[in-house]
């Protein structure tokens, strides 16, 4: 893409040069600000009037949306602020700097309303989509971050946004830029979606292979027998059906108080918690160390299967990892359970299968959000009696997982590159670093 023929100093240090013919304007001269209110999560209904909550802006939408996924009653909406086609909607608060000031353009025809901490900007003399791209660009986001206030909850106010200086081409050129970016980013998003779907399919295939291996084995011609368990079906004739309590021990983690916590590993022992299991792998981004005598029973050993057994989120209960040499000698918290068995190679597959997840789900209800030792001990498992066959299955699956992980990692890097390219493209176009006035849009 080519550059503009001539540039000029914008007069704003962080903006730098802008194309000749573009103008710098503060948002206060481009449109009017107002604020949503009167709608909380407690007011949401299955059907009714479409509404937007501030958290939806950075979790559910991209640059623009025609359809709002939330609804409330007409009575609640009457106490809120109406939004119209072309309104730009900012997040007024959030938990991180990245959340603050993100905005979308509402392109819906339906009457809709904005909840609290949604800042509404109604342009008078600008293309809304162009503004949405511009106000979400890396350069503008950096400036919005400087304006944000607070530590635990971060805020930005319309009084701050009003004074934000941005560069504008003519209205005709704004429209051309918006159409160009819609076309280009749409193609990028489609490609990203395809790659994300590939990752989903690879994960589904991996799960299916694991499920097959832990219930049927690797030999498709092996004689089969009825397991006697309806949901399990037939299993290899020579395999055994047992409960976990007969092939290993379930151990609840260490209890500690705030007074036991110390600064680092030199002063205490690492305690593994739910946050240390991410994506089926060990993560040490968040660590806690305690100075306390740890019994041999509560000291992690190679082959221990560490399971999240209590958590505020039911979806996280049951996630697990198999402990290797790196974590031997560490311990684990009271919301975690270790299953210790000499058959850990095969059991590690079981704990990552749908068979384990389905049994876990039977015990998680609206009032019960933990996997007790008694419950875990009584889980059914089908297992080859030969340790050699167990290890053969485990090695086969491990090799398959490694190959799949390589493809998933490569695909994820491609997604990251496309996302970064999209961000860079938007920034270059909306700030006038490249000229797209004569670009063909198709």
Distance CA 93, CA 96 (A): 9
Number of H-type helices and E-type strands within the chain: 10, 29
pLDDT band at 1 (very low <50, low <70, confident <90, very high): confident
Cβ contacts of 432 within 8 Å, gap of 6 or more: 4, 7, 18, 19, 22, 167, 169
Planar angle of CA 82, 86, 88, nearest 5 degrees: 75
Rg (alpha carbons) of the chain, rounded to whole number:
28
**Mean pLDDT over residues 382-388, rounded?**
94
- 3-class state of residue 310 by DSSP: strand
pLDDT at 366 over 60: no
| pLDDT score recorded for residue 367 | 58
**Mean pLDDT over residues 374-395, rounded?**
94
Q: Order of strands, edge to edge, in the sheet holding 305-308? A: 249-252, 336-340, 305-308, 320-322
Distance CA 361, CA 188 (A): 38
Phi-psi region of 180 (alpha: psi -120 to 50; beta: other; left: phi over 0): alpha
pLDDT at 224 over 90: yes
Class of domain 240-383: alpha beta
**Could you give the percent of the chain with pLDDT greater than 70?**
98
Contact indicator for 104, 64 with CB cutoff of 8 Å: yes
Distance CA 198, CA 200 (A): 5
**Mean pLDDT over residues 3-17, rounded?**
92
- Tokens for 90, please give them: 């900012």
- 3-class state of residue 314 by DSSP: helix
More confident residue, 315 or 403: 403
Region(s) of the chain under CATH 3.90.220.20? 23-168, 240-383
| pLDDT score recorded for residue 59 | 87
Class of domain 23-168: alpha beta
Cβ contacts of 408 within 8 Å, gap of 6 or more: 199, 202, 203
Cα dihedral 389/391/393/398 (nearest 10): -170
- pTM for this entry: 0.82
DSSP string, 384-438: -S-HHHHHHHHHHHHHHHHHHHHHHHHHHHHHHHHHHHHHHHHHHHHTTSS--TT
pLDDT band at 45 (very low <50, low <70, confident <90, very high): very high
**Average of per-residue pLDDT values in the chain:** 91
Cβ contacts of 274 within 8 Å, gap of 6 or more: 308, 311, 316, 319, 335, 336
**Mean pLDDT over residues 1-23, rounded?**
92
Q: What is the pLDDT of residues 386-410, one digit of tens each?
A: 999 999 999 999 999 999 999 999 9
Q: What is the pLDDT of residues 131-185, one digit of tens each?
A: 999 999 988 988 888 887 877 788 888 999 999 999 999 999 999 999 999 999 9
**Could you give the percent of the chain with pLDDT greater than 90?**
75
- 3-class state of residue 42 by DSSP: helix
**Mean pLDDT over residues 228-255, rounded?**
93
| pLDDT score recorded for residue 127 | 94
pLDDT band at 359 (very low <50, low <70, confident <90, very high): confident
Distances (CA, A) of 406 to 7, 193, 282, 410, 431: 46, 19, 17, 6, 38
Q: What is the pLDDT of residues 194-205, one digit of tens each?
A: 999 999 999 999
| pLDDT score recorded for residue 423 | 93
pLDDT band at 363 (very low <50, low <70, confident <90, very high): low
pLDDT band at 365 (very low <50, low <70, confident <90, very high): low
SS (H, E, C) 130-188: HHHHHHCCHHHHHHHHHHCECCCCEECCHHHHCCCEEEECCHHHHHHHHHHHHHHHHHH
In terms of DSSP bridges, do strands 31-35 and 44-52 run parallel, antiparallel, or are they unpaired?
unpaired
- Tokens for 174, please give them: 């704004």
Distance CA 35, CA 137 (A): 23
């Amino acid at each position: 893409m080519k550059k503009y023929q001539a540039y000029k100093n914008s007069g704003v240090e962080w903006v730098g040069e802008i194309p000749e013919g573009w103008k710098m304007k503060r948002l206060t001269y481009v449109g009017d600000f107002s604020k949503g209110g009167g709608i909380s999560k407690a007011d949401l209904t299955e059907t009714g009037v479409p509404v937007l909550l501030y958290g939806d802006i950075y979790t559910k939408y991209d640059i623009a949306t025609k359809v709002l996924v939330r609804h409330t009653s007409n009575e609640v909406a009457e106490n809120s602020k109406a939004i119209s086609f072309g309104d730009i909607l900012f997040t007024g608060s959030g938990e991180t700097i990245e959340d603050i000031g993100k905005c979308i353009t509402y392109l819906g025809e339906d009457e809709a309303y904005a909840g609290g901490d949604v800042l509404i900007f109604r342009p008078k003399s600008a293309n809304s989509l162009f503004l949405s791209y511009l106000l979400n660009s890396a350069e503008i986001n950096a400036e919005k971050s400087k304006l944000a206030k607070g530590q635990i909850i971060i805020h930005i106010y319309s009084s701050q946004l009003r004074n934000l200086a941005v560069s504008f081409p003519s209205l005709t050129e704004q429209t051309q830029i918006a159409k160009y970016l819609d076309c280009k980013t749409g193609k990028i998003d489609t490609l990203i979606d395809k790659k994300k779907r590939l990752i989903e399919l690879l994960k589904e295939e991996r799960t299916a292979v694991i499920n097959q291996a832990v219930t049927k084995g690797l030999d498709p011609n092996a004689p089969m027998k009825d397991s006697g368990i309806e949901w399990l079906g037939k299993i290899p004739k020579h395999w055994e059906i047992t409960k976990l309590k007969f092939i290993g021990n379930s151990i609840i983690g260490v209890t500690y108080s705030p007074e036991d916590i110390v600064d680092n590993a030199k002063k205490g022992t690492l305690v593994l918690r739910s946050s240390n299991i991410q994506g089926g792998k060990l993560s040490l981004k968040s660590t806690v160390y305690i100075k306390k005598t740890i019994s041999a029973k509560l000291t992690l050993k190679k082959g221990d299967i560490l399971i999240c057994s209590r958590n505020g989120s039911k979806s996280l209960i049951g996630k697990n990892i198999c402990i290797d040499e790196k974590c031997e000698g560490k311990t684990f918290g009271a919301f975690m359970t270790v299953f210790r068995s000499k058959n850990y190679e095969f059991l590690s597959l079981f704990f990552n299968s749908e068979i384990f997840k389905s049994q876990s789900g039977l015990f998680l209800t609206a009032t019960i959000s933990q996997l007790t030792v008694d419950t875990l001990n009584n889980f059914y498992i089908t297992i080859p009696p030969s340790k050699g066959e167990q290890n053969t299955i485990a090695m086969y699956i491990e090799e398959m997982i490694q190959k799949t992980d390589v493809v998933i990692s490569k695909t994820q890097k491609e997604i990251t590159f496309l996302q970064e390219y999209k961000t860079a493209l938007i920034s270059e176009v909306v700030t006038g670093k490249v000229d797209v006035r004569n670009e063909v849009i198709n």
